[in-house]
Amino acid sequence: MRVLFTMNPAPGHLFAMVPLAWAMHLAGDQVLVAVPPALHQQVRRAGLTAAAVGGEASFLDLWPGDRALGGNEELDLDVFVAIAERTAPDVLALAAAWRPDLIVSEPVEYAGPLAATRLGVPWVLHHWGLPVPDEAHRAALAKVAGRLGALHDGLPVDPPAATVSTCPPSLGPAPGALPMRYVPYNAACTLPDWLLAPRTRPRVCVSMGTVPIPEGVDGLTVAVRGLADLDVEVIVSGAGVHGIGDLPANARRIGWIPHRHLLPSCDLFVHHGGSGSSMAALTIGRPQLLMPQMCDQFSIAERLTAAGLARAVPFAARSAGAVRALVTDLLADPGPAERAARIRDEIAAMPSPAAVASELALVGSLTAARYVVPV
């Protein structure tokens, strides 16, 4: 079976889909990833094959110039529609030439479902982790309905043949979705010796994700200052680490160490509330302090704090004092860690990517006869 993955040019969107792509490859399927060249290096590092679509479209370049990147608690889909407007002609041409049996797309990638509908190919919706609440998603879609209608040229897009959800059962997965165990992937590294050395005090990881926006650098700065006078070891990772200036004596600035390797040695994860970071911490069973700054991060913060396994710093209330107080509380209270451990066990019991790949093989094989190349 030929499987085409389509996604936006942001590393976190790719990382969430790599385990299923690997599982399909290992099952003998041909897997191709259609994405703008800005993400090709990460695709190759994941051991997958990329196809160029959309020219040099990038997430940051296409963000609306009249809007700040951070601080907006409403889901804004304009940048993702702008990317689809660039990529759709290439994705349609690629799909017509390569003839996939199945297309797998993430929730805010709109060219893949369009190509699937045009060609009569089934498509699969692959959630990143904690799905955006339906009401918020519908409201955001309504604001870009005109542009999506123009992109689709008035053609109603087929609903997904299947939906894959890595959201743990107790945190509200998408209704009717195929559950799949979240397997953390965020590239590779050479493991440093210090990571394996015995610890003498609590370790706190601080990261603001993979997209280097000014608000992320500000978040790192605030968090590191808040932790400076606590008896903890601070590990600063991810995008923006070189923009925060000198570090206090208890902090270490590191290169790229995947969270699946770093977080098991940590007692707490302070981060921006991105789906990948949140799910990595849930998979390992660590409590979290969230500092949401854009897109779905605010709804993720609400969901995790409501579940009692995280605390959150509102964007407008960011301060070193707020971080210090909440970190002190989280390290002293065993409740969030115990609840995070229960979620970890839920995730471990979910079906593997290999099992889900087998389910999706049936979807592709049963509907391959519908393949129609439009005139």
Sequence-distant (≥ 6) Cβ neighbours of residue 249 within 8 angstroms: none
Q: How many CB atoms lie within 10 A of CB 323?
A: 25
- 137 pLDDT tier (thresholds 50, 70, 90): confident
CA atoms in the 13 A half-sphere facing the CB of 183: 14
Provide the 3-class DSSP secondary structure of residue 339.
Answer: helix
Q: Which of 234, 226, 250 is nearest to 324 (CA)?
A: 226
Q: Does 370 score more than 70 pLDDT? A: no
Q: What is the pLDDT of residue 56?
A: 84
Q: What is the pLDDT of residue 54?
A: 94
Q: Which two tokens stand for residue 283?
A: 């998979």
- 372 pLDDT tier (thresholds 50, 70, 90): very low
DSSP 99-128: --SEEEE-TT--HHHHHHHHHT--EEEE--
Please give the domain boundaries of the chain with CATH numbers for all domains.
2-182+350-370 (3.40.50.2000), 193-348 (3.40.50.2000)
**pLDDT digit string, tens, across residues 252-296:** 998 788 999 999 999 999 999 999 999 999 999 999 999 999 888
- Cα 57 to Cα 346: distance, rounded to the nearest angstrom: 38
Helix H or strand E segment including 35 = strand 30-35
Helix H or strand E segment including 15 = helix 11-26
- 88 pLDDT tier (thresholds 50, 70, 90): very high
Q: How many CB atoms lie within 10 A of CB 208?
A: 31
Q: Does 373 score more than 50 pLDDT? A: no
**pLDDT digit string, tens, across residues 286-339:** 999 999 998 889 999 999 999 999 999 999 999 999 999 999 999 999 999 999
* Between 341 and 213, residue with greater pLDDT: 341
- pTM of the full predicted structure? 0.92
Secondary-structure percent of the chain, ordered helix, strand, coil, rounded to 5: 45, 15, 40
Provide the 3-class DSSP secondary structure of residue 312.
Answer: strand
CA distances from 348 to 251, 262, 287, 375 (A): 32, 19, 17, 47
